[in-house]
Chain A
């Protein structure tokens, strides 16, 4: 149904407006080296280089700073971006972008698999590069996304995708980098949720114990399995998580309970898992901040644009947590809960600024910190020589809607078309009103 509608509408668009398509064309590889000259470079490391230049070649940043007098850059194409702001491409972590098209239409949702234990469900293979959502999100400066399966206890395996590709294979930035564990609830739920649990006949402490046992068995078996060079019987579940034991994969623990954090991190440590990230750090997580710090666990904050957790919470607690965690020296990343509104990612980072976070630090929370959390900080997350040329140029402050106006974007040096469905529809109907 959808296809037919959009085929027709694309025909109509083609008839009415020159150069308009449903989706912008994927950018070709960088052929000419480029210098973005004279912009304010926000490196993502906290530094701002006023009126600086940034050069990249073959998709890699070759120089950052003042490039006057560097003779070997004569062949670089120079783009004047003076007065504009230059940022590392933003990284959208823990999202279903590309897996969910229309959340309310079941058949367009590919983020959740049947059952509780699905570590082998890989997001990369279901990632839809032709999603209408992706270019809309991308237009505000988001260039990479960690695409994550949801639901169940072990939801599946995530991959990091770059947001401009013909096909999921081309989109992969780092494949199968993490396994997602929704830590079972320990405390009895309260309020309406409790009512629902009682109504459904669940929510008991014993179900936690059962789940805990199941997880323990699974991880112990997986650790043993990982030592077998060539198993007689391949086990997909165990295969999917064996990278956790040698640190080639990260375990992303999703929990909203203080006790869940302690229990799950202890669990992961005991299982010999090397890389652990806490997803959804909220007011409960703050109660065990010392534990998080001692165990050196990076956190991805719970959705910032949400209500405080409790009636008695500080009414602005969700806005304040970023400052609180980062002041503790905990690596803190920010994400946005809904894939379709992912274009608001820069703004939720900006939201922490009036509550004490430095602007460049806020930027890092959606760039370099997220890269560190994902283990891709050697390749991206900041504007430094040798890193991938994942670069965004905005007319003004990217973290503020009054400033955010992304005019140029590069993924691995490729010059990205920032058009999208919203802009196209806007133009289409502006045409109508011109008549």
Chain B
């Protein structure tokens, strides 16, 4: 029987089997074979949710013709007895670029990504694409992968070996990547392997090979995608012959396709989902393998996932000094990543698995088995490799299970495919078998006693069953040796002290024997019989087990339980913390009812500061402030000798954001900080330790008009969307001076140009608003006869400023440009709302006051560039003295956590009184940010964002005891010390685990009996 199987495999690979459809002209003599196979006697798992069933499968011309116990095989059927084997539907990977010419995979390679960022960071003027396609090269919606797809048998072979029968293939280049195809992995003509064209439309946040400088950052990519989808509405209403855009044209048709979005990490999953929600799209999101760190939110988002099995290598912890630098998050991720798929599954999120991000598809087998060992349910694993990916593409009637009429993609295995000991014998794809291991091959691995002539040796055979390796010992001494094993024939060489002995023979009936040549030229007989292993030795060899030599393989699955037991230690893993970095919380702090007793309370209202006062908070709000407050059930905090102040608000910050600058174009008002909040930035926690409770996250200062900012509260551990302060107004970042004119490849290059381009932008926005006003005033009938205006997100953000839904916040340094901006704003009927940095504001404080602007400045930074050569430490005090609404900001994650000290400096430089000084970092920023109705002072009804200090908050000698946001204690000195201890313990536990595992790997590898 074995021979027959081999023969079939041979000719199939050469000739191919007739496909159901083919229009290829016959060249030479036609050679069409019957292509009818019956696979009999195997345990068949029809689909992920069915139990194994002993049944026969009839395959005709690549499809499953029939299934059953007593089905009739037509004449010409090759019957293959697969008794003792298990048959599964072949796997499907819906995230590959199989058969697509290599693209720049910058997303996957961090170095390439870094290089691309460096490159793209340099702004240049946008150029026209030159063809009738979308203006930005990151958009390739009209691309279809079948214009380039060519079957690649080498690559297909790797996938087939790992158990895959079909893959979705797409070109991973750009933000809109065009459409994909579902193809089989058979070695056949492209025409024959395509199972489904336009199987999905694919997207990402990465510009890929685009040479446009826009977008240079993720929020730019999001903005571009948003504009692209909006453009499709406009495009759909255009009369014929008016404007053609290949990508927008393609988008019309692609709307109905499944949409796959590639992201790098858990937060980006939510970002992809958010942009999907705006346009009613439900994405299938290909994640980065860290989904377990944010399961609740991902589940809530409703996305389906494609999950890679990418497990980081253990960090090198052999050197304690170097190990000290390895972050907790990296150690924990190393430990938990293999459990990711299991946790995703348990959370009830629909997911498919992919080989993506593995260095080669061949690594998949080991990874999936590891995932199963770490808790992924086997049924769920099979579902994620068969049914789910097929269903995601609407291809579940073609592939993903074994049923009549479906493509004959079958896996023949030695048993439970997710068991470590199992092997894949064959992978049938479109009715063609690909054989990897002979199901009847002997496994000779094990321990033997070998006698050759007078001498005897201890022999251990290990490695792969078809490529074994050998170790030989004599008298306790290891001897150099080699083995080859082909179809039961054995050749062994052993280097003894006298010379090399060569042995040849065969394996049968559990014994190896044959003839040999001794070192002295003498002939000998040799035989090896299985060694008897003593109990003691077994124990020493933990975790492996030294078993007697392999007998002819019996296909039992008795090893399963033992395998699981052995790895019992590895399965216990730490807990997920939120966010997934050191000082993340397992549980979010409770909103408490708290009574602060006998503090020096800096109310910052008209009372200023009250000595020996109490403050009661409940449900996140301040309830009462005064002397001798009584309240039942409140936790009392004795604040005697301490100071209680409102939480510090950092008016200018760049923490907690994945992007800072969309540095490409001069006007990028369309980008939004809110799109890319990064709640895992540990600056948030560090700033809580300095009393900061809120921050205004701004776009950088690379452009005259940057992006829309967002205000967050330091709700450490919350997802991005919950960090945003509710009901905030908008702010739009503007920038003047050196930073924006530095890019010589882009307009502007001087302060003249800066004024000019901002003026132009607002003028365009005015005209845009008028255009829409005019259109909206039309009757429905009139509207029919005109082309509707195109929505432009860049201009809409400026219209928001014109209509005071959003406000100018402008990076300014020298007095001339500050005055310029005021006049420019006035020309458009608006205000230069907030001047940021403005080191020379003290020179024009009167003008700012008259204009009604506010200033957000450094306390004492100056002199780091030419435009701050005249910055002075007395700036803030001068502004306050002239009645300008002023605050201090950090613009720096480190300085932010001691903004209270910066406020203290205004007492020194310019003599502000202490109440006014503290207002510079509390009430005044709240006012500037239009949040003073709920933040910035201690008054009943306001948010319980409070800081308890050991000393005067303006003094260098103070320390934060406790920081609350919304009445939750997010920082507490004692709790912090306890967390630090737990962090150290957790790090040590994982480092020990890595060391132990590393140690185990250096011992002789464990020998187990395989079942073949």
Contact: A103 with B114, CB < 8 Å? no
B258 to chain A, nearest CB (A): 34
**B738 (CB) vs chain A CBs: closest residue:** A104
Interface residue B907 (Cβ < 8 Å from any Cβ of A): yes
For the complex, give the distance between the alpha carbons of A425 and B874 in Å.
9
B155 to chain A, nearest CB (A): 27
Interface residue B976 (Cβ < 8 Å from any Cβ of A): yes
Interface residue A314 (Cβ < 8 Å from any Cβ of B): yes
B120 to chain A, nearest CB (A): 14
Chain A residues near B328: list those with CB within 8 A: 311-312
Interface residue B895 (Cβ < 8 Å from any Cβ of A): yes
Residues of chain B in range 954-986 having any CB-CB distance to chain A below 8 Å: 954-959, 976, 980, 983-984
Contact: B980 with A104, CB < 8 Å? no
B967 to chain A, nearest CB (A): 22
Q: How many pairs of A and B residues are in contact by the CB < 8 Å rule?
A: 156
Known contacts A102-B866, A105-B865, A340-B863; A187 and B842 CB within 8 A of each other: no
Contact: A195 with B864, CB < 8 Å? no
Contact: A133 with B894, CB < 8 Å? no
Q: Give the residue of A287, A399, A402, A430 whose beta carbon is less than 8 angstroms from that of B908.
A: A402
Q: Give the residue of B683, B685, B865, B957 whose beta carbon is less than 8 angstroms from that of A102.
A: B865
Contact: B842 with A311, CB < 8 Å? no
Contact: A429 with B878, CB < 8 Å? yes
Known contacts A353-B956, A354-B959, A425-B872; A310 and B908 CB within 8 A of each other: no
Known contacts A354-B959, A402-B954; A312 and B894 CB within 8 A of each other: no
Interface residue B950 (Cβ < 8 Å from any Cβ of A): yes
Q: Give the residue of A104, A199, A310 whose beta carbon is less than 8 angstroms from that of B866.
A: A104
Interface residue A166 (Cβ < 8 Å from any Cβ of B): no
Taking residues whose C-beta sits less than 8 angstroms from the other chain, chain B's interface range is 35 or more
For the complex, give the distance between the alpha carbons of A258 and B324 in Å.
10
Interface residue B600 (Cβ < 8 Å from any Cβ of A): no
Contact: B878 with A198, CB < 8 Å? no
Chain B residues near A105: list those with CB within 8 A: 865-866
Per-residue CB contact flags for chain A residues 182-200 toward chain B (1 = under 8 Å, else 0) read 0000010010100110110
B292 to chain A, nearest CB (A): 19
Interface residue A344 (Cβ < 8 Å from any Cβ of B): yes
Interface residue B806 (Cβ < 8 Å from any Cβ of A): no
Contact: A315 with B583, CB < 8 Å? yes
Chain B residues near A287: list those with CB within 8 A: 320-321, 324
Per-residue CB contact flags for chain B residues 945-959 toward chain A (1 = under 8 Å, else 0) read 000001110111111
Contact: B874 with A426, CB < 8 Å? yes
Contact: A316 with B114, CB < 8 Å? no
Chain B residues near A426: list those with CB within 8 A: 842, 872, 874, 878, 910
Interface residue A132 (Cβ < 8 Å from any Cβ of B): yes
Q: Give the residue of A192, A306, A433 whose beta carbon is less than 8 angstroms from that of B845.
A: A433
Chain A residues near B405: list those with CB within 8 A: none
Contact: B582 with A258, CB < 8 Å? no
B848 to chain A, nearest CB (A): 12
Per-residue CB contact flags for chain B residues 845-866 toward chain A (1 = under 8 Å, else 0) read 1100000000000001111111
Known contacts A132-B869, A316-B689, A401-B956; A341 and B861 CB within 8 A of each other: yes
Q: Most A CB atoms within 10 A — which of B894, B958, B987?
A: B894
Q: Give the residue of A305, A312, A432 whose beta carbon is less than 8 angstroms from that of B895.
A: A305
Chain A residues near B864: list those with CB within 8 A: 102-104, 340
Contact: B327 with A311, CB < 8 Å? yes
Known contacts A314-B980, A425-B872; A404 and B842 CB within 8 A of each other: no
Contact: B118 with A310, CB < 8 Å? no
Chain A residues near B870: list those with CB within 8 A: 421, 425
B118 to chain A, nearest CB (A): 7
Interface residue B1001 (Cβ < 8 Å from any Cβ of A): no
A264 to chain B, nearest CB (A): 14
**A101 (CB) vs chain B CBs: closest residue:** B863
Contact: B956 with A350, CB < 8 Å? yes
Interface residue B881 (Cβ < 8 Å from any Cβ of A): yes
Per-residue CB contact flags for chain B residues 312-327 toward chain A (1 = under 8 Å, else 0) read 0000000111101111
- Among listed B458-466, B795-803, B897-905, interface-contacting one: B897-905
For the complex, give the distance between the alpha carbons of A402 and B869 in Å.
26
Chain A residues near B822: list those with CB within 8 A: none
Interface residue B386 (Cβ < 8 Å from any Cβ of A): no
Contact: A402 with B327, CB < 8 Å? no
**A189 (CB) vs chain B CBs: closest residue:** B325
Contact: B581 with A311, CB < 8 Å? yes
Chain B residues near A309: list those with CB within 8 A: 325
For the complex, give the distance between the alpha carbons of A218 and B870 in Å.
45
For the complex, give the distance between the alpha carbons of A374 and B110 in Å.
44
Interface residue A257 (Cβ < 8 Å from any Cβ of B): yes
B683 to chain A, nearest CB (A): 8
Contact: B686 with A198, CB < 8 Å? no
Interface residue A400 (Cβ < 8 Å from any Cβ of B): yes
For the complex, give the distance between the alpha carbons of A311 and B328 in Å.
7
A398 to chain B, nearest CB (A): 11
Q: Give the residue of B686, B950, B956, B958 whose beta carbon is less than 8 angstroms from that of A315.
A: B686
Known contacts A312-B328, A402-B907; A347 and B863 CB within 8 A of each other: no
Interface residue A151 (Cβ < 8 Å from any Cβ of B): no
B690 to chain A, nearest CB (A): 9
Interface residue A355 (Cβ < 8 Å from any Cβ of B): yes
Contact: A422 with B689, CB < 8 Å? no
Interface residue A45 (Cβ < 8 Å from any Cβ of B): no
Interface residue A307 (Cβ < 8 Å from any Cβ of B): yes
Contact: A102 with B907, CB < 8 Å? no
Q: Most B CB atoms within 10 A — which of A192, A340, A405?
A: A340
Contact: B865 with A187, CB < 8 Å? no
Interface residue B843 (Cβ < 8 Å from any Cβ of A): yes
Interface residue A211 (Cβ < 8 Å from any Cβ of B): no
Per-residue CB contact flags for chain A residues 263-300 toward chain B (1 = under 8 Å, else 0) read 00000000000000000000110011000000000000
For the complex, give the distance between the alpha carbons of A430 and B864 in Å.
25
Contact: A400 with B956, CB < 8 Å? yes
Chain B residues near A386: list those with CB within 8 A: none
Chain A residues near B682: list those with CB within 8 A: 311
Known contacts A401-B901, A433-B881; A104 and B951 CB within 8 A of each other: no
**A188 (CB) vs chain B CBs: closest residue:** B322
Per-residue CB contact flags for chain B residues 902-940 toward chain A (1 = under 8 Å, else 0) read 001101111000000000000000000000000000000
Residues of chain B in range 680-733 having any CB-CB distance to chain A below 8 Å: 682-683, 685-686, 689
Interface residue A343 (Cβ < 8 Å from any Cβ of B): yes
For the complex, give the distance between the alpha carbons of A288 and B321 in Å.
9
Chain A residues near B861: list those with CB within 8 A: 341
Chain B residues near A400: list those with CB within 8 A: 904, 955-957
Contact: B685 with A199, CB < 8 Å? no
A146 to chain B, nearest CB (A): 20
For the complex, give the distance between the alpha carbons of A132 and B114 in Å.
39
Chain B residues near A288: list those with CB within 8 A: 321
Interface residue A247 (Cβ < 8 Å from any Cβ of B): no
Interface residue B873 (Cβ < 8 Å from any Cβ of A): yes
28 chain-A/chain-B pairs, Cβ below 8 angstroms:
A2-B869, A102-B864, A102-B865, A103-B865, A105-B866, A187-B325, A258-B321, A287-B324, A307-B893, A311-B327, A311-B328, A311-B581, A314-B980, A315-B583, A340-B863, A340-B864, A341-B860, A347-B956, A353-B957, A354-B958, A401-B955, A404-B908, A405-B908, A421-B870, A422-B862, A425-B870, A429-B842, A433-B881
**Interface set of B (CB-CB < 8 Å, partner A):** 110-111, 114-115, 118, 319-322, 324-329, 581-583, 682-683, 685-686, 689, 738, 842-843, 845-846, 860-866, 869-870, 872-874, 878, 881-882, 893-895, 898, 901, 904-905, 907-910, 950-952, 954-959, 976, 980, 983-984, 987
**Interface set of A (CB-CB < 8 Å, partner B):** 2, 101-105, 132-133, 187, 190, 192, 195-196, 198-199, 257-259, 283-284, 287-288, 305-312, 314-316, 340-341, 343-344, 347, 350-351, 353-355, 399-402, 404-405, 421-423, 425-426, 429-430, 432-433
Further contacts, 16 of them, CB under 8 A, given A421-B872, A425-B842:
A132-B863, A187-B322, A187-B325, A198-B111, A259-B322, A287-B324, A306-B894, A312-B582, A312-B984, A315-B686, A347-B901, A354-B958, A400-B904, A400-B955, A401-B904, A422-B873
